[in-house]
Amino acid sequence: MAEEMKVIVFTLAHEEYGIEVDKVRTIERMVPITRVPKTPAFVKGVINLRGVVIPVIDLRGRFGLVESEYTENSRIIIVAANDLEVGFIVDSANDVIDVMSDAIENPPEVVGGIKAKYISGVAKISESRLLILLHLAEVLNRSEIIQLEQFGD
């Protein structure tokens, strides 16, 4: 029996991606980001969200894609992984959809220039629409989480 999974759909460089709804805390418009020295280039800094300091990562930079100017459609998706809240900057966050587990296939080696380790699967939504599902544990791998946790204290 195929299970249904709710997924937040967002775009990066004209590709559609998904993160499971239960991993997403909130989706915010772009706010001023305070730069933090000695962090990887894709770590844009931290934001103060309702009194909580949250590190922010530009997913384009994380995936080795060309970073672009932020627009009024740009969003920060706040996700929770391993007791850590992190903001992902994305080009836009579009909608929430249901994905059936039997529509998800294992990822190929590279999708849209992104290494397979960052992808948990590819969901076939329709004949012409594929959704790349993020593997949050890899997007925020151990050594980077340790670096980011220092900002949360």
Predicted confidence band of residue 55 (pLDDT cuts 50, 70, 90):
very high
Pick from 44, 7, 13: nearest CA to 136: 7
Pick from 34, 16, 30: nearest CA to 72: 30
Region 53-70: what's the mean pLDDT? 90
Give percent of the chain above pLDDT 90: 51
4 DSSP β-pair partners: 100
pLDDT at 113 over 70: no
CB 139 within 8 A of CB 62: yes
Phi-psi group of 45: left, alpha or beta (phi > 0 → left; psi -120 to 50 → alpha; rest → beta)? left
Pairing, β 43-49 against β 15-20: unpaired
The full set of domain ranges for the chain reads 4-145
Average pLDDT of the chain to the nearest whole number: 86
What is the pTM for the complete model shown? 0.86
pLDDT at 97 over 90: yes
Q: Which stretches of 1-153 are DSSP H helices?
A: 59-62, 136-139, 142-152
Q: How many CB atoms lie within 10 A of CB 30?
A: 15
Predicted confidence band of residue 106 (pLDDT cuts 50, 70, 90):
confident
Give percent of the chain above pLDDT 70: 87
Rounded-to-10 torsion of CA 19, 23, 29, 34:
-110
Look at residue 40 in the predicted model and tell me its pLDDT: 82
Alpha-carbon distance 30 to 128, whole Å? 30
> Thinking of the domain 4-145, which architecture would CATH place it in?
Beta Barrel (2.40)
Q: What is the pLDDT of residues 10-23, one digit of tens each?
A: 999 989 999 999 99
| Geometric angle at alpha carbon 96, from 113 and 93, rounded to 5° | 50
